[in-house]
């Protein structure tokens, strides 16, 4: 049963919201696009809901609409970055990037990663940081590799690899990296070749953490393989 039009919502927005919620695929796609052209804040909660639409054209247009609405959509998009639905997180991250708000979104997610009590929420925050791929998230993600929760560790590790891939491309193009970026790229380059195909998540996270934090430069190309081998030998005693 369709609900009544909320106070303050323009008639055209209401019409398109109804199409977005109840129409078939083509109608929903056009409705989301129409809402991007109207760009009225009253449509925000409905567009956030549409980010999980099974039709990628609908969810994509909903993301565009939210980016066109701009600043009023930022709080809802920040919340959407913590959604368990990966598609929702992807579109929210894209919208924030398009609005050039991604740096502030990174700061928000880092705060969640470091302070949230629920490990599932911390895990999702780590995965969302992998969509934004910003160097400022490196240190907190490295810290998360020592988490008690293995799923948070795994998410942080995968995100660091994604950031590393971006950094490798930037370095290849001659772009200057932040010091944290240089350290991460060096650590990944040293450690990744020595992982076995069936390497455990514990070894991968511990090794990357150790290689990144090698302040004395004791780990190099010659002994990196031995270091990983030693971690395997003592895996049962490692936290």
Q: How confident is the model at residue 165 (pLDDT cuts 50, 70, 90)?
A: very high
Between 18-32, 43-57, 72-86, 139-153, the lowest mean confidence (pLDDT) is in: 72-86
Give me the mean pLDDT over the 77-96 stretch: 87
Average pLDDT for 117-136: 88
Query: Sorting pLDDT into bands at 50, 70 and 90, what band is 97?
Result: confident
How far is Cα of residue 20 from the mean position of the Cα atoms in its chain? Answer: 26
Assign 234 a pLDDT band (cuts: 50, 70, 90).
confident
Tokens of 42: 């009253």
User: CA distances (Å), 134 to each of 102, 104, 105, 140, 223, in order?
Assistant: 8, 11, 10, 12, 30
What does the pLDDT read at residue 238?
62
Residue 11 three-state SS: helix
Q: What percent of the chain has pLDDT over 90?
A: 62
Among 17, 47, 130, 35, residue whose Cα is nearest residue 81: 130
CA distance 93 to 77: 8
The average pLDDT across 226-235 equals: 87
In this prediction the pTM is 0.75
Evaluate if residue 173 carries a pLDDT over 70: yes
Measure the N-to-C terminal CA separation of the chain; round to a whole number of Å: 54
What's the pLDDT score for residue 185?
95
Q: Which of 35-39, 136-140, 209-213, 229-233 has the lowest mean pLDDT?
A: 229-233
**In whole angstroms, what is the distance from residue 25 CA to residue 19 CA?**
10
| Per-residue pLDDT at 239 | 60
Tell me the mean pLDDT in the region 105-128.
88
C-alpha 138/C-alpha 153 separation (Å) is: 13
pLDDT number for residue 44: 96
pLDDT tens digits, one per residue of 28-80: 999 999 999 999 999 999 999 999 999 999 999 999 999 999 989 999 998 88
Quick one: pLDDT at residue 220? Answer: 84
* Whether the predicted pLDDT of 1 surpasses 70: no
Of the chain, the percentage scoring pLDDT greater than 70 comes to: 97
Mean of all residue pLDDT scores within the chain: 90
Domains and CATH numbers, the chain: 9-99 (1.25.10.10), 101-239 (1.25.10.10)
């Amino acid at each position: 049963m369709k609900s009544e039009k909320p106070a303050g919502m323009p008639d055209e927005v209401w019409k398109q919201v109804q199409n977005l919620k109840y129409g078939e695929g083509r109608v929903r796609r056009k409705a989301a696009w129409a809402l991007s052209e109207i760009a009225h804040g009253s449509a925000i909660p409905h567009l956030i809901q549409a980010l999980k639409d099974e039709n990628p054209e609908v969810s994509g247009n909903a993301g565009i609409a939210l980016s066109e609405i701009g600043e009023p959509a930022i709080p809802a998009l920040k919340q959407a970055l913590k959604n368990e639905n990966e598609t929702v997180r992807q579109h929210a991250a894209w919208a924030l990037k398009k609005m050039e708000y991604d740096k502030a979104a990174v700061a928000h997610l880092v705060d969640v990663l470091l302070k949230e009590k629920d490990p599932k929420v911390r895990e999702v925050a780590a995965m969302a940081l992998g969509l934004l791929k910003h160097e400022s998230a490196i240190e907190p993600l490295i810290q998360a590799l020592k988490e008690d929760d293995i799923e948070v560790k795994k998410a942080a590790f995968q995100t660091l690899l994604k950031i590393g891939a971006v950094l490798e491309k930037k370095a290849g193009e001659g772009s200057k990296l932040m010091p944290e970026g240089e350290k991460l790229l060096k650590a990944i380059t040293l450690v990744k070749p020595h992982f076995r195909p069936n390497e455990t998540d514990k070894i991968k996270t511990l090794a990357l953490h150790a290689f990144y934090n090698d302040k004395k430069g004791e780990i190099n190309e010659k002994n990196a393989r031995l270091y990983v081998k030693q971690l395997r030998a003592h895996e049962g005693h490692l936290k």
